[in-house]
Amino acid sequence: MTTALITGSTAGIGAAFARRLAADGHNLVLVARDTKRLHEQATELHDRHGVEVEVVTADLATDDGIETVAARLSDRRNPVDLLINNAGFGNKGRYLDVPMADELKMLKVHCEAVLRLTSAATEAMRERGRGGVVNVASVAAFVPRGTYGASKAWVVQFTQGAAKDLAGSGVRLMALCPGFVRTEFHQRAGMGTDNIPGWMWLDADKLVAAALSDLARGKSLSIPDPRYKALMGIVKVTPRALLGGITSRTGRKYGPQ
């Protein structure tokens, strides 16, 4: 039986990955900051699906938190076959309105943690000749959306570059770029969502199903919905100056997750 490690597992996309992977028979390692919620989630998934569930309390905005999870990923005696780097957050406000400490915390979680955890996981996976990593980015990676979009653009570029370097090793890497998903993401960041049209919202469980299908097919980039695939096609041919004006008017703070 294979084991999947999921960061940010207690809510939103991370919780959807946990539900789906447990239902498919994978043992789980759940990572988040809230120990109580982790144990509640672990008990529910174990009782419902009969899989083994391990919990790791870690704050990926800290070196200690990253090192704790990296050590678990490096454990050759209890290997992790699939890593879902999902932990992330948004800051409310435009550039220079957000405190520098909060901007740096975002880069720590979205970039440094993703780099270090992906490296720990893939090194062990390459030795075994198999494994997979899904790094959750966002369609915000493709439009000018401040530090959030920039950090997610880094995730996409890093993941696709690493996937190319590891081609033929048996290790697959994929950047997942969802649009707006109904989760706790915006509420936690204190962001309103009234200006987002209903058709732009995605279901987390359907999103995860599409993402896992794309990973199985060997894709290094997944935009798992026809609506957003069409939007990203438009983005590619839209002048950057015009695109920047549009995203500024629609509210740079509303980063999808």
Query: Which active-site residues does the annotation give?
Result: 148
Closest C-alpha among 103, 76, 89 to residue 12: 89
Q: How large is the greatest C-alpha to C-alpha distance in the chain, in angstroms?
A: 53
Closest C-alpha among 3, 186, 222, 15 to residue 91: 186
CA distance 51 to 190: 35
**Positive/negative CA dihedral, 219, 222, 113, 100:** positive
DSSP annotation of 112 reads I
Helix axes 100-107, 146-165, angle to 10 degrees: 20
